[in-house]
């Protein structure tokens, strides 16, 4: 018998022997059948088929390489003495080549963007479903629960910038225990503000747009200093109170607690304000507060409750 065929038969027998040994180690075929272990039974059948077919195919080609004689005409070109035969393109190759082009066009236009499965998509769906369950469970949570929840979320999402104590880490971001600092009020008056704090896109004009309603005069540097102290001091005291009444109250209300659609609350940190800052972000004297878009309703409510509770005395 031919040596190649003999080798193939030995390899097949050895491989089948290994397969058998592996199955015996796992408890034997009887056990698999008794357990109804369909997946492993199919795997064994597959293994036997693959071993046998591979050996046949390999043997066929090895023999062909041993026995085939070249035929056909040589091409004109010669690369340093090496020349190629002018073989016809095998039909299978041509079909496969055209097939990949057609598949590419189909995949690009139809297969990929539409109806395609993605792991990220599946994860997002699962997270969304879980979020809904969470929102449902806590939608009527009381204030205490929300504040606790908000504190936990704050430690993860906000503390890296605002500090564990939410005191702004020496001015690197806003101190959340007070509504606003003197520096920030001045910055807003000098530069205006456009942070969508009201949710209406209403902007705060800069100093050129601010006029004292009682005296009709533009705001002076001394007045800016005074009113900034007044606002940062929770609108208490007399210094700056007249400037506030004349220049700011028309938009922010006489008590600074804001007027609907006109000016935001600048007297205290309210849940509504924190909520807007979380949704829109905020750019001010210190820098840029990023917007957070991926919390669910309960998480927003919890953070709003926690942050606004910090400034309550």
- Which residue lies nearer to ligand HEC by CB, 8 or 231? 231
Tokens of 211: 């006029």
Contacts of 299 (CB under 8 A, 6+ apart): 149, 153
Residue 38 CA to residue 51 CA, distance in Å, equals: 20
Binding segment (CB under 6 A) for ligand HEC, from list 51-59, 68-76, 126-134, 198-206? 198-206
Using the Cα atoms of residue 162, residue 165, residue 171 and residue 172 in order, give the sign of their dihedral.
negative
CB of residue 177 vs ligand HEC: minimum separation in angstroms? 10
Residue 235 is a binding residue for ligand HEC (CB under 6 A): no
Tokens of 33: 């059948």
| Of the candidate residues 146, 264, 267, 300, the single one contacting ligand HEC (CB under 6 A) | 264
On whether the CB atoms of residues 197 and 276 are closer than 8 A, the answer is yes
Contacts of 284 (CB under 8 A, 6+ apart): 174, 184, 187, 188, 193, 195
Give the number of other Cβ atoms within 10 Å of residue 217's Cβ.
Answer: 11
| Of the candidate residues 29, 44, 285, 291, the single one contacting ligand HEC (CB under 6 A) | 285
| Of the candidate residues 66, 137, 165, 194, the single one contacting ligand HEC (CB under 6 A) | 194
Residue 196 is a binding residue for ligand HEC (CB under 6 A): yes
| Of the candidate residues 8, 146, 235, 307, the single one contacting ligand HEC (CB under 6 A) | 307
- Which residue lies nearer to ligand HEC by CB, 289 or 298? 289
| Of the candidate residues 149, 231, 302, 305, the single one contacting ligand HEC (CB under 6 A) | 231
Residue 20 is a binding residue for ligand HEC (CB under 6 A): no
Residue 284 is a binding residue for ligand HEC (CB under 6 A): yes
The answer for 28, left when phi > 0, alpha when psi is -120 to 50, beta otherwise, is: left
Tokens of 247: 């220049």
The answer for 290, left when phi > 0, alpha when psi is -120 to 50, beta otherwise, is: beta
Contacts of 140 (CB under 8 A, 6+ apart): none
- Which residue lies nearer to ligand HEC by CB, 55 or 184? 184
Give the number of other Cβ atoms within 10 Å of residue 230's Cβ.
Answer: 23
Closest CA to 311 of 153, 195, 157, 176: 176
Residue 27 is a binding residue for ligand HEC (CB under 6 A): no
| Of the candidate residues 7, 52, 54, 250, the single one contacting ligand HEC (CB under 6 A) | 250
Q: Where in 113-172 is the site for ligand HEC (CB under 6 A)? A: 154, 157-158, 160-162
Give the number of other Cβ atoms within 10 Å of residue 13's Cβ.
Answer: 12
Binding segment (CB under 6 A) for ligand HEC, from list 97-105, 121-129, 133-141, 194-202? 194-202
- Which residue lies nearer to ligand HEC by CB, 3 or 313? 313
Q: Where along the sequence are the contacts to ligand HEC (CB under 6 A)?
A: 154, 157-158, 160-162, 173-174, 176, 179-180, 184-185, 188-189, 193-198, 202-205, 210, 227, 231, 247-248, 250-252, 263-264, 266, 274, 277-278, 282, 284-287, 289-290, 292, 303, 307
């Amino acid at each position: 018998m031919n040596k190649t065929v003999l080798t193939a038969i030995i390899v097949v027998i050895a491989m089948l022997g290994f397969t058998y040994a592996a199955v015996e180690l796992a408890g034997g075929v009887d056990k698999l059948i008794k357990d109804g272990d369909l997946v492993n039974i199919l795997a064994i059948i597959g293994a036997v088929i693959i071993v046998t077919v591979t050996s046949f195919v390999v043997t066929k080609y090895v023999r062909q390489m041993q026995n085939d004689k070249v035929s056909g005409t040589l091409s004109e070109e010669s690369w340093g003495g090496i020349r190629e035969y002018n073989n016809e393109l095998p039909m299978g190759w041509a079909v496969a080549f055209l097939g990949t082009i057609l598949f590419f066009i189909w995949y690009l236009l139809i297969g990929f963007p539409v109806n395609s499965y993605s792991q990220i998509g599946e994860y997002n769906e699962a997270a969304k479903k879980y979020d809904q369950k969470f929102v449902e469970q806590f939608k009527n949570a009381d204030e205490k629960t929300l504040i606790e929840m908000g504190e936990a979320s704050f430690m993860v999402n906000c503390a890296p910038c605002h500090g564990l104590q939410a005191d702004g880490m020496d001015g690197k971001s806003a101190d959340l225990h007070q509504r606003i600092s003197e520096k920030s009020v001045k910055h807003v008056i000098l530069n205006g503000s456009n942070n969508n704090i009201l949710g209406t896109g209403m902007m705060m004009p800069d100093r050129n747009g601010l006029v004292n309603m009682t005296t009709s005069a533009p705001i002076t540097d001394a007045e800016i200093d005074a009113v900034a102290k007044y606002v940062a001091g929770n609108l208490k005291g007399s210094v700056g109170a007249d400037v506030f009444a004349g220049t700011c109250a028309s938009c922010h209300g006489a008590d600074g607690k804001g007027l609907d659609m006109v000016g935001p609350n600048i007297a205290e940190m309210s849940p509504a304000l924190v909520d807007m800052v979380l949704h829109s972000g905020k750019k001010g004297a210190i820098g840029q507060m990023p917007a957070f878009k991926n919390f669910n309703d309960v998480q927003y409510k919890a953070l709003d409750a926690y942050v606004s509770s910090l400034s309550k005395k």
